[in-house]
């Protein structure tokens, strides 16, 4: 079969999922003829994605979140307004998608939770089948547990799922653990799409904490912890554009630009991991048997759902504040669920080939 990928470019999770599925399909005789990635001014397409994807890549303007001035929390109303006034730009992107689809004539389009794909199927009604893939779709499951309150946020996210998944033949919900499929919703619960590089790592316990921040405003919180505990090594990853590839603060605190190989190596050898509750890197840490502190970005309801779901699966602990002190206190109480999680992940290739082909 021939596929086109449409990938959300916000954060690294959707991109690493696309890399993994790309290799699964290619190694089993299928073709991914083109990859379309949503872009924004806040993010640059990382080298690890360009190195792993050997099909033509096109970046198009796509809806994105707007954060506050400190680059920490998501501002819902600014996000809505910003994307509405740019709707004509998105229409141009949809026309470009249509040109690529008409040229490539794929059997199916696989959407890694970019709203452009939903808009494309809504406005153009193309012939290829639409498969949608993301952890967000697990929220459609009847047994999913939501954070208390925030009814408006819940409704908004479920509406976003409807848009991203418009006209989907099958909805693939990535999950930390096994759950029953719901055929009446075309909903398939599937294991994470971890890359081979993660599975090949030998996990060991080192001295350093690993930190991954989607929004670089959290750097001040890391520095505050560092002042209290200068003896604890901390390795941080961010994508702050005006900083060098490696910003060395002192002997025990370093900030790195996104570097896939370095990140994986430091994760495999860390003693604990702090992240802003994105699905993919939490899965990677679980596979490598690392205790995790998840801090959902303020105002980012999807990440609040991720954190609650991951805690339920035994990944670690969640908090509203970006404080390594919490992770330090949690370490003695962590119960390893790595073996059970690994068994779930080992079913990934067979599960996806059965559903997508």
Same topology between domain 2-193+346-356 and domain 197-344 = yes
Both tokens of 71, joined, read 């680059």
Q: Does residue 139 surpass a pLDDT of 60?
A: yes
Average of pLDDT values for 88-101? 94
More confident residue, 21 or 243: 21
pLDDT tier for residue 11 given thresholds of 50, 70 and 90: low
For the chain, what is the mean pLDDT? 91
What are the residues facing 171 on neighbouring strands? Answer: 132, 187
Q: What percent of the chain has pLDDT over 70?
A: 95
pLDDT digits (tens, 9 = 90+) for 276-303: 888 998 999 999 999 999 999 877 888 8
| CATH of range 197-344; options 3.90.1150.10, 3.40.50.2000, 3.40.50.12780, 3.40.50.300 | 3.40.50.2000
Question: Could you confirm whether domain 2-193+346-356 is CATH 3.40.50.720?
Answer: no
Q: Does residue 69 surpass a pLDDT of 70?
A: no
**pLDDT (0 to 100) of residue 218:** 87
Q: Is 245 exposed, middle or buried (0-12, 13-18, 19+ CB in 10 A)?
A: exposed
**pLDDT (0 to 100) of residue 150:** 82
Return the domain boundaries, the chain.
2-193+346-356, 197-344
Average of pLDDT values for 93-101? 97
The structure tokens 């294991």 sit at 191
**pLDDT (0 to 100) of residue 344:** 96
- Nearest to 193, CA basis, from 88, 344, 39, 82: 344
**pLDDT (0 to 100) of residue 82:** 73
pLDDT digits (tens, 9 = 90+) for 110-133: 999 999 999 999 999 999 999 999
Are 291 and 327 a contacting pair, CB within 8 Å?
yes
User: Does pTM top 0.85 for this prediction?
Assistant: yes
- For 346: left if phi > 0, alpha if psi spans -120 to 50, otherwise beta; the answer is alpha
pLDDT digits (tens, 9 = 90+) for 302-338: 889 999 999 999 999 999 999 999 999 999 999 999 9
Query: Would you give the DSSP letter of residue 323?
Result: -
**pLDDT (0 to 100) of residue 187:** 98
pLDDT digits (tens, 9 = 90+) for 147-198: 888 888 888 889 889 999 999 999 999 999 999 999 999 999 999 999 889 9
């Amino acid at each position: 079969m021939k596929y086109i990928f449409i990938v959300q470019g916000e954060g690294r999770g959707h991109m690493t999922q696309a890399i993994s599925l790309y290799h699964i399909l290619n190694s089993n005789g299928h073709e991914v003829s083109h990859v379309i990635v949503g872009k924004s001014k806040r993010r640059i397409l990382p080298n690890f994605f360009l190195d792993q994807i050997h099909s033509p890549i096109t970046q198009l303007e796509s809806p994105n979140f707007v954060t506050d001035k400190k680059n920490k929390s998501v501002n819902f109303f600014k996000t809505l307004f910003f994307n509405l006034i740019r709707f004509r730009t998105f229409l141009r992107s949809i026309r470009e998608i249509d040109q690529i689809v008409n040229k490539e004539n794929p059997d199916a389009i696989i959407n890694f939770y970019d709203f452009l794909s939903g808009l494309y199927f809504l406005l153009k009604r193309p012939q290829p089948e639409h498969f949608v893939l993301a952890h967000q779709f697990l929220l459609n499951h009847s047994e999913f547990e939501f954070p208390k309150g925030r009814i408006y946020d819940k409704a908004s996210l479920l509406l976003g799922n409807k848009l991203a998944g418009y006209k989907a033949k099958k909805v693939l919900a990535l999950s930390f653990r096994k759950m029953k499929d719901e055929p009446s919703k075309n909903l398939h619960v599937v294991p994470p799409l971890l890359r081979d590089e993660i599975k090949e790592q030998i996990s060991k316990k080192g001295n350093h904490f690993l930190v991954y921040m989607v929004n670089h405003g959290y750097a001040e919180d890391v520095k505050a912890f560092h002042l209290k505990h200068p003896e604890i090594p901390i390795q941080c990853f961010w994508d702050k554009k005006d900083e060098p590839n490696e910003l060395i603060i002192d002997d025990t605190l370093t900030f790195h630009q996104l570097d896939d190989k370095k990140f994986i190596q430091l994760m495999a050898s860390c003693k604990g991991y702090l992240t802003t509750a994105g699905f993919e890197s939490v899965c990677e840490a679980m596979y490598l048997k690392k205790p995790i502190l998840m801090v959902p970005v303020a105002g980012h309801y999807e990440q609040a759902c991720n954190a609650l779901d991951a805690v339920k699966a035994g990944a670690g602990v969640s908090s509203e504040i970006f404080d390594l002190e919490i992770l330090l206190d949690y370490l003695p109480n962590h119960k390893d669920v790595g073996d059970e999680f690994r068994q779930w992940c080992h079913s990934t290739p067979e599960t996806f080939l059965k559903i997508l082909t």
